[in-house]
């Protein structure tokens, strides 16, 4: 009995069937706007949006969009694998941070996480960096160490296994240091942070490292860091960076205590130029994230 010989057409069709069974990578969102999450003297979450990351329009008539039931300060917002993660300080001196998740920026699930023991006194201005290669979140905040604030950290895959005994000192420059915001560019990690006391007017500074792993490199080797904002209002804190959509250009926002937020731009993290911005009145310590037109429309419908 002669077996039929498959034709080249059959082979191509078979290959197409096999390829169709392979999982397709998810479509990447097309970003078109920017969302600012911030707090004011009213310690809740507020939103503003912008098309250029410079001129901001408040949402919800300037009223809060989220009240977690505690004093919310220093919100940081970012998107990881289609999920928005929000972290923030609770009130003033508490050894906890708050972590929330959302897929629509309207509804949040989560709550408090104890990150240090009571002797560390506080957990201020938490932020995180998603290390995709490790499928790991590096979570940072400021707690007390030897009588001053230093940067602490932990690592987690899903935010469920964070405990004080898994937290550790990340780096210490020997004086107060808070409010770190880290971005990566061309294999270098840039850490914008606030060293020193309120009255010493050191302002926000920039330090660098080759790795987020403190066993490989440390931001502490730069001491208090470079003074890249010499014409900023003082005192100031809360630096926050956003990369512009489709450009190798970044804006860095900072939060003067007694003035509205200021901003600088850079294309190389070497030269920083002050720019004019219009931010929500009284806004403090913002988090910045890019969003799609569809996401903005949802926010406008809910918070017009």
Following DSSP, what letter does each residue of 58-85 receive, concatenated?
A: ESGGG--SB--SS-EEEEEEEEETTEEE
- With cut-offs at 50, 70 and 90, classify the pLDDT of residue 23: low
Q: Does residue 22 lie within any of the structural domains?
A: no
Q: How many domains does the chain have?
A: 1
The whole-angstrom separation of Cα 108 and Cα 90 is 16
Q: How many CB atoms lie within 10 A of CB 22?
A: 7
Q: Does residue 20 lie within any of the structural domains?
A: no
Computed over every residue of the chain, the mean pLDDT equals 93
Q: Does residue 157 lie within any of the structural domains?
A: yes
DSSP code string of 150-219: EEEEEEESSSSS--GGG-EEEE--SS-EEEEEEEEETTEEEEEEEES-GGG----EEEEES-S-TTT--G
Q: Does residue 2 lie within any of the structural domains?
A: no
The whole-angstrom separation of Cα 144 and Cα 267 is 35
Q: Does residue 198 lie within any of the structural domains?
A: yes
Tens digits of residue pLDDT in 52-104:
999 999 999 999 999 999 999 999 999 999 999 999 999 999 999 999 999 99
The whole-angstrom separation of Cα 201 and Cα 204 is 9
Q: How many CB atoms lie within 10 A of CB 164?
A: 18
What pLDDT score was predicted for residue 8? Answer: 47
Q: Does residue 8 lie within any of the structural domains?
A: no
Tens digits of residue pLDDT in 103-155:
999 999 999 999 999 999 999 999 999 999 999 999 999 999 999 999 999 99
CATH number at residue 280: 2.115.10.20
Q: Does residue 21 lie within any of the structural domains?
A: no
**Which residue range forms the structural domain that includes residue 108?**
27-303
Q: Does residue 275 lie within any of the structural domains?
A: yes
């Amino acid at each position: 009995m002669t077996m039929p010989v498959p034709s080249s057409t059959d082979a191509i069709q078979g290959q197409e069937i096999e390829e169709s069974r392979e999982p397709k990578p998810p479509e990447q969102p097309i970003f078109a706007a920017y969302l600012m999450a911030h707090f004011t003297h009213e310690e809740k979450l507020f939103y503003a949006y912008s098309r250029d990351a410079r001129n901001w329009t408040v949402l919800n008539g300037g009223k809060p969009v989220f009240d977690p039931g505690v004093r919310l300060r220093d919100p940081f917002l970012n998107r990881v694998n289609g999920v928005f993660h929000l972290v923030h300080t609770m009130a003033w001196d508490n050894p906890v941070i708050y972590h929330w998740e959302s897929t629509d920026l309207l509804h949040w699930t989560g709550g408090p996480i104890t990150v240090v023991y009571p002797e560390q006194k506080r957990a201020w201005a938490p932020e995180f960096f998603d290390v995709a290669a490790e499928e790991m979140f590096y979570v940072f905040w400021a707690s007390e160490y030897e009588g001053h604030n230093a940067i602490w950290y932990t690592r987690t895959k899903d935010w469920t296994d964070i405990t004080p005994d898994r937290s550790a000192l990340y780096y210490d420059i020997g004086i107060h240091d808070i409010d770190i915001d880290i971005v990566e560019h061309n294999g270098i990690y840039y850490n914008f942070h606030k060293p020193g006391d309120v009255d010493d007017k050191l302002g926000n500074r920039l330090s660098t490292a080759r790795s987020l792993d403190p066993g490989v490199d440390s931001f502490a080797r730069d001491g208090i860091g470079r003074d890249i904002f010499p014409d900023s209002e003082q005192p100031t804190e809360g630096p926050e960076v956003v990369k512009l959509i489709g450009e190798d250009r970044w804006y860095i926002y900072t939060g003067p205590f007694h003035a509205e937020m200021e901003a600088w731009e850079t294309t190389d993290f070497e030269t920083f130029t002050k720019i004019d911005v219009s931010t929500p009145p009284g806004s403090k310590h913002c988090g910045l994230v890019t969003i799609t037109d569809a996401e903005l429309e949802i926010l406008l419908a809910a918070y017009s």
